[in-house]
Amino acid sequence: MHSNVQRVQQYFGFLTTVVLSLAVALSLTSIILDQFITVPSSSISLDTLNVRYGRPQIGYDTRRQEYAFMTFDLSADLSSLFNWNTKQLFVYVAATYPGRPYSNKIVVWDTIIRDKQDAYISLKNQTADYAIYDVTGKFNGRNATLSLEWNVQPYVGILTWNKSPEKTRITFPKFT
């Protein structure tokens, strides 16, 4: 009838089908569950914004340009984003400002949250991890908005991105 190799192949083929079906079911239930989660509230306030003119401290670029450093306060409760399928959250503060021909979006600060207990963020006078640069080399007094955004990374399923509706407007000073 069937050899032992054929029986093992049938067993693993059936096992693979069952595991794949369970993974699809888990992924669909987490997508449905995400529809009922309320967007967490947060607040961001800018403490200081320093714009400097000079050679950037990173990379091999030798041209002189404007770059900005900032400190900010942040409070957010992201514990509602955790469920049985959440592996971790990638949380970041993004600065968005207009440019030509598209708008610019730059990550200013980021962190990874792996536990629901660590999902409450309360930062005071936090220095931005990354400086803000513009492709043109000058900010020219443009307005920008700071917003808290996150990426939910599940054990099984698709990645989802979202952001807090609260935003903070900032204005880059004109460098003289």
Is residue 176 situated within a structural domain?
Answer: no
- What is the structure's pLDDT at 9? 93
Task: Report which of 118, 115, 112, 125 is spatially closest to residue 44, judged by C-alpha positions.
Answer: 125
Q: Which domain holds residue 52?
A: 38-171
User: Do 27 and 6 belong to one domain?
Assistant: yes
Tokens of 68: 């900005």
- pTM over cut 0.85: no
Is residue 91 situated within a structural domain?
Answer: yes
With b meaning 16 or more CB within 10 Å and e meaning fewer, what string describes 131-163? bbbbeeeebeeeebebbbbbebbbeebeeeeee
User: Do 150 and 79 belong to one domain?
Assistant: yes
Instruction: Give me the CATH number covering residue 164.
Output: 2.60.40
- What is the structure's pLDDT at 104? 84
In the chain (176 residues long), the average pLDDT of successive 10-residue segments reads: 86 92 82 72 76 66 76 89 89 87 87 93 89 78 88 87 86 72
Phi-psi sector, 140: left (phi>0), alpha (psi -120 to 50), beta: left
Is residue 141 situated within a structural domain?
Answer: yes
Number of domains in the chain: 2
